[in-house]
Structure 1
Amino acid sequence: MQDFANLNIIYGWNYSGKTTISRIFQNSEKTEKNPDYNSSEFELENYNGQKYNEQIHNVDDRLVRTFNADFIKDNL
């Protein structure tokens, strides 16, 4: 997988995990878990070896914004 850039679009077939991945990133944006994944755990690691999980919301100062079905439901 390529490194993320300033703007990233994730696309794929239905039921391929796009919403799950976007909700992981949305955890950083909202600093809270999605209610559908309340008992979930995850861990991501950046290129410097810094780790990010459901309790550590930011590993650097990047601004995260997600536009997914949850965003549409909450805002439109």
Structure 2
Amino acid sequence: MSAHWFRFRLERDEVRRGENTVEVECRTKDGRAGFTRSLNGVEILMRYRDMERPEGLGIDRVEPGGG
């Protein structure tokens, strides 16, 4: 069994809180492979570096590290 990883970027407004549906489509394949290809699973890693801070927490009063 071989596995291949593909990276793609979803814009912030394309992912919403709660359940999301991502459609994956294989458009081209290498014709030299002598086996049937299938998609067995998808793993999505979310990075929240661009996440917006929640409002109303009194950020000016919260010390770094919660201390």
Structure showing the higher helix proportion among its residues: 1
Larger Rg: 2
Q: Shorter-chain TM-score: what band?
A: under 0.3
What's the TM-score once normalised by structure 1's chain length? Answer: 0.21
What's the TM-score once normalised by structure 2's chain length? Answer: 0.23
Structure showing the higher strand proportion among its residues: 1
Query: Does 1 or 2 have the higher relative contact order (CA < 8 Å, sep 6+)?
Result: 1
